[in-house]
A and B are shown apart, each in its own frame.
Chain A
């Protein structure tokens, strides 16, 4: 994500790291953005208090994923494992930050994962995390922590997935609302000049579509050459997800403060799509 302009201001990026493939991807993406904005990177590793407590219970047993056998949960072993994971997360974080030559801080916290992440992210302008964590079984859509973070986070949130993450094309859902404008500006801020941009104009008639396109074009101005406007008469997350899938975006930029789409629709849309998402908060 090099070649960014500075339409949005980011001084500090918090990255939740659990060493899962998704969180590694989010660390890379966050480091790249931090490098462009000269922002500081804050790495967060949370030792799940619920897991620790479970291990301390007298009857605690874990069911092995691949053998379906029961085995007592050993708290000491678990503590060692968490420490090892924290160390691993720190090494990964440090190497990544140094590669991009950015100031960085790493924190190992203990508590409820979501609460600790959100709390730490309050001091940052952007929270980066994986779409799902170290869940033993893969699932479609967002993981439970990411799902809650989308709803409860006060900062911009960047959700990434493992695997290659092409930056282009960017896709913005635009309905003319302040949140949508903010999202479009954020997308422009993150885009290279040669990147392609798809703008989904949520309009139920041609006139509105034309008006929205005119607005969007004014915002985009000459920042991006390859841009395409698409008229979307639907506002439900299912149809929108299908349309987004057809465009195969490298990054989906959304706001949860749109007029045409309510926040829940946006959250469902994020859950339904399997692409990196930048959710732009209007408050910041």
Chain B
């Protein structure tokens, strides 16, 4: 099998040609936000927005920073602006059931006007009603009614007094009532005089007085009835006067709002209540007793006295253009469905309908509500409340404290408002799949999945889109513009970020960060525009800032604390490559992999697994090796060896199968006895047929080994073996490319294990001959010989053992 040639410098880095751009700098671009790629997600969004049926809410899934929100907002801005402005909503007092405030809708912009009109109406009532009741005509009528009662009482008593006087009996006014006593010459008889009277006279007097007392009692008993009648008359008069006084004010409002049935009905109820409770408008002073004014409250709003005539504007769309698009950053249950606030008054919590606070669902009603799924799920009960609102298609405000009995105060049960909002959740993929599998409601309520990719194809169009997007960042963040060379470097960075030279990352957050950081260095370097050098400086600085741990590891290797050989040749020892992820940074590091063989039964022992430090994928990779060995060498004879594999100086566990090819090379070396060049490092997984398969983090791995070699001095022999299928992923650092160009470092694309072993040992792997054997001197030939020898030895040992046993017995 021919060994592959090392990759050329051009294959290591897909450069973006700045000359292909028609613009000199991003200043020449329009600066509008353009998101390229994501066609699948865009189509899903278009579909989701267009579908007005139940449950066609959208879940935009994809890694954070891939522009989900930006794309959505861009789409919604176009769509929503063409849609009708939704209605305003108000909460008003329910005169029948005060605990259930009514919700009234009206055309956009009317709610605030209506609230203002009602405030003016209250002001008017405060003037008109006292005016009507202080008029002379009313006072006269009121006095007349009261005096009718007095007259009635007085005339009855006067008549009785006269009747008594005719019989020489006086009506005496006592501190608590009345008494009757006989008189002579205007003076009441004293006890002695009375006792001197004849018995008949005394009897007559007592009889008369008794009769008079009964008459007086009869009058007294009628007094409450007369008082009630008087009160009724007064009430009737008052209501007539109040009704007459307020009629013009209400007539004006009713005419104004005659087209809105709900408002007209409400005004009727208010009028009725005002007439019934007209006396509350008498004391204007106390009406304006000030409580702390809340922002947005008008005059007289400080008083809670006339709250039941006020309007709580829950939704004001007077300034809304098109359908509202709301992003709720903190989707707590209160912020979503609204809340009923309370005021502390005299040590007690009180509330009324004016303290109903609308939520994001109210504000987005008739439009679109965007929520971050993770934040939504982190808020207690918020997800359930949202689902309930979507399912019932209405927004019902329920106090959390009331729901859970945490507050014992009387609260409200506001009338629910019909919900017509498209809900859009933004979240990571695993969150979507988790909800989809675990929540039975989810798929019913969020039928549209807009799957955002984290990369897009790299071509001339996407280069221009990237440039446009960078231009929009510059405009939005008010940064320096980038010249075309800087844009090209940004694109290359995007490609490196995606881990594919033929793709670009859609992680716009990383791009935005790099533009910001480049702007900083452009200012430091006194550049008018951000140049390629500034961008590179920002990238290097970022790497330097994150370089503490890789630096420490490199030092440890250079000081031989961690043993990595980059010069000699060793049997059963190889440099594998691994990637470490620390935060949002990743770096590559070489690891020594060694293998020892002994007689056995064909098993390959993964020491990492034996001590529970190996992950399942790694273990799987090692087992594949056993499969490969069995397939290649075990057809003709049993494999009588036992091999042990280990990642030397690994203390944190090993996962992944990207070292499986390296492990196989080490095994082949150990079995064949041919040493491996330690100036080479290997990455790539392998299957049972010895085909080398792609792995991740190839750039970091190559750079990790390159950095070590560079520190020790490039010898012109060092290099890395990578899977050939990873060639397209190469976007290597400039110093690596330069070293390759100068033939100081080599990168070999390997497709099969036989290619790799030849590069590593300088000995041909050897192709299988027709008789099933391998050519002598080749790796495979040597391996077969070694295995045969081991089998023989094992057989010999076995026979010796069997022969000894009968003698012993």
Query: B-contacting residues of A (Cβ < 8 Å)?
Result: 48-51, 53-65, 68, 70-71, 73, 78, 81, 112, 134-140
- Contacts of A71 on B, CB cut-off 8 Å? 176
Inter-chain contact A68/B178, CB cutoff 8 Å: no
Query: Closest chain A residue to B153 by CB distance?
Result: A137
- Cβ-neighbour of A54 out of B172, B216, B217, B223 (below 8 A): B172
Given that A51-B172, A68-B217 are contacting pairs, would A139 and B191 also be in contact in the complex, using a CB cutoff of 8 Å?
A: no
Say whether A54 contacts B179, CB under 8 Å.
Answer: yes
Those of B97-151 within 8 Å (CB) of chain A: 147, 150-151
Q: How many A-B residue pairs have CB under 8 A?
A: 97
Report the bound CA distance from A140 to B181 in whole Å: 25
In the bound complex, residues from chain A placing their C-beta under 8 Å from that of B187 are 49-50, 53, 112
| B221 located at the interface, meaning its Cβ lies under 8 Å from any Cβ of chain A in the complex | yes
Contact between A49 and B178, CB atoms less than 8 A apart: no
Given contacts A63-B213, A112-B187, contact A81 B175 (CB under 8 A): yes
Task: Output the nearest chain B residue to A68 by Cβ-Cβ distance.
Answer: B220
Given A70-B213, A134-B173, verify A57-B154 contact (CB < 8 Å).
no
From the candidates B177, B180, B182, B186, name the one contacting A65 in the complex (CB within 8 A). Answer: B177
Tally of B interface residues using CB under 8 Å: 35
Q: Across the interface, do B150 and A50 meet the contact criterion of CB distance under 8 Å?
A: no
Given the complex, which residues of A lie within 8 Å of B177, measured CB to CB?
62-65, 136
Pull 22 A–B residue pairs with CB atoms less than 8 Å apart, ordered by A.
A48-B172, A50-B183, A50-B187, A50-B188, A53-B189, A54-B179, A54-B188, A57-B181, A57-B194, A58-B191, A61-B179, A62-B178, A63-B220, A64-B176, A65-B176, A65-B177, A68-B217, A70-B213, A81-B175, A112-B187, A139-B154, A140-B150
Question: With a CB–CB cut-off of 8 A, which chain B residues contact A81?
Answer: 175
Contact of A73 with B154 in the complex, beta carbons under 8 Å: no
Q: Is B157 an interface residue (CB 8 A)?
A: yes
Chain A: CB-nearest residue to B215: A63
Q: Which residue of the partner chain A has the closest CB to B172?
A: A54
A58, A73, A135: the one contacting B194 at CB < 8 Å is A58
Q: Which residue of B lies closest to A111 (CB)?
A: B187
B10 at interface (Cβ–Cβ under 8 A)? no
- Best-buried of A55, A63, A134 by chain B (most CB within 10 Å): A63
Q: Which residues of B contact A139 (CB under 8 A)?
A: 150-151, 153-154
- Complex-state Cα separation, A58 to B192, whole angstroms: 10
- Whether B190 sits at the interface, judged by CB under 8 Å, is yes
Q: Is the CB of B150 within 8 A of A62?
A: no
Q: Cβ of B681 < 8 Å from any Cβ of A?
A: no
Give chain A residues whose Cβ lies under 8 Å from the Cβ of B181: 50, 53-54, 57, 60
Complex interface bits, B631-644 against A, C-beta within 8 A gives 1, otherwise 0: 00000000000000
Residue pair A70, B217 in contact (C-beta under 8 Å): yes
| Contact bitstring B197-241, A, C-beta under 8 A = 1, else 0 | 000000000100100010011001101000000000000000000
Q: How far is the CA of A49 from the CA of B181 in the complex (A)?
A: 12
With A62-B177, A140-B147 known, 15 other A-B pairs at CB within 8 A are: A53-B189, A54-B174, A54-B179, A57-B188, A59-B209, A61-B213, A63-B177, A63-B178, A64-B176, A68-B220, A70-B213, A112-B187, A137-B154, A137-B223, A139-B150
**A114 nearest CB neighbor, chain B only:** B186
**Interfacial chain B residues near A135, Cβ < 8 Å:** 173
With a CB–CB cut-off of 8 A, which chain A residues contact B220?
63-65, 68
Pairwise interchain contact A63-B188, C-beta atoms closer than 8 A: no
Say which residue of B179, B182, B191 sits within 8 Å of A63 (CB atoms): B179
Considering the chains assembled together, what is the distance between the CA atoms of A54 and B186 in angstroms?
Answer: 13
The answer to the question of B170 belonging to the interface, with a C-beta cut-off of 8 Å to chain A, is yes
In the bound complex, do residue A50 and residue B172 qualify as a contact, i.e. CB atoms below 8 Å apart? yes
Tell me, in angstroms, the Cα distance from A227 to B177 when the chains sit together.
46
List residues 621-656 of chain B with CB under 8 A from any CB of chain A: none
Determine the chain A residues whose CB is within 8 A of the CB of B216 once the complex forms.
63
Contact A62–B191 (Cβ < 8 Å): no
Q: Are the CB atoms of B174 and A62 closer together than 8 Å?
A: yes
A70 / chain B contacts, CB cutoff of 8 Å: 213, 217
- Give the chain A neighbours of B147 by CB distance below 8 A: 140
CB distance from A21 to the nearest CB of B (A): 15
Contacts of B217 in A (CB 8 A): 63, 68, 70
With a cutoff of 8 Å between Cβ atoms, the chain A residues found around residue B170 in the complex are: 50
The answer for the CA separation of A53 and B153 in the assembled complex, in Å, is: 26
Question: Looking at the complex, which one of B174, B176, B190 makes contact with A53 (CB distance below 8 Å)?
Answer: B190
Are A51 and B174 in contact, with the CB atoms below 8 A? yes
The chain B residue with its CB closest to the CB of A82 is B175
Shortest distance from the beta carbon of B325 to any chain A beta carbon, whole Å? 64
Indicate which residue in A48, A58, A140 contacts B151 across the interface (CB closer than 8 Å): A140
Contact A138 B150 (CB under 8 A): yes
Question: Once bound together, how far apart are the Cα atoms of A53 and B194, in whole Å?
Answer: 10
Query: Are A112 and B186 in contact, CB atoms less than 8 angstroms apart?
Result: yes
Q: Which of B157, B172, B216 gathers most chain A CB within 10 Å?
A: B172
- Residue among B151, B173, B180, B206 making CB contact with A136, cutoff 8 Å: B173
Are B189's CB and A137's CB within 8 A? no
A59 to B203, CA, bound (A): 11
**Closest residue of B by beta carbon distance from A59:** B206
B581 to chain A, nearest CB (A): 89
A58 CA to B172 CA in the complex, in Å? 15
Bound-state Cα–Cα, A53 to B195, Å: 13
Query: Which of B188, B216, B221 has most chain A Cβ within 10 Å?
Result: B188
Determine the distance from Cα of A141 to Cα of B553 in the docked complex, in whole angstroms.
113
Is there contact, CB below 8 Å, between A68 and B179? no
Residue of B nearest to A56 (CB): B191
CA distance A139 to B146 in the complex (A): 10
A152 CB, nearest partner CB in chain B, Å? 13
A-B pairs with lowest CB-CB distance, top 10: A68-B220, A54-B181, A139-B154, A53-B188, A50-B188, A65-B177, A56-B191, A62-B179, A62-B174, A64-B177
**In the complex, chain A residues whose CB is within 8 Å of the CB of B179:** 51, 54-55, 60-63, 73
Residues in A whose Cβ lies below 8 Å from that of B150: 137-140
Of A51, A71, A112, A137, most buried by chain B (CB within 10 Å of CB) is: A137
A214 to chain B, nearest CB (A): 33
Q: Which B residues are in CB contact (< 8 Å) with A51?
A: 172-174, 179
A50 CA / B220 CA spacing, docked (Å): 22
Distance from A161 Cβ to chain B, minimum over Cβ atoms (Å): 13
Residues in chain B near residue A65, CB distance under 8 A: 176-178, 220
Shortest B185–chain A CB gap in Å is 11
- B431 CB to nearest A CB, Å: 76
Given the complex of chains A and B, what is the CA–CA distance between A193 and B209 in angstroms?
57
A17 to chain B, nearest CB (A): 15
Once the chains bind, are A57 and B213 in contact (CB under 8 Å)? Answer: no
Nearest neighbor of B151 in chain A, beta-carbon distance: A140
CA gap between A11 and B419 in the complex, in Å = 86
The distance in angstroms between the C-alpha atoms of A138 and B147, with both chains bound, is: 9
> How many angstroms between the C-alpha atoms of A227 and B591 in the bound complex?
118
**Chain B residue with minimal CB distance to A139?**
B154
Measured between beta carbons, the chain B residues less than 8 angstroms from A136 are 173, 176-178
B417 to chain A, nearest CB (A): 53
Q: How far is the CA of A215 from the CA of B172 in the complex (A)?
A: 48
B175 touches A134 (CB 8 A): yes
User: Which one of B151, B175, B180, B194 has the highest number of Cβ atoms from chain A below 10 Å of its Cβ?
Assistant: B175
Tell me the complex Cα distance, A57–B197, Å. 12
A140 to B172, CA, bound (A): 19
A236 to B286, CA, bound (A): 46
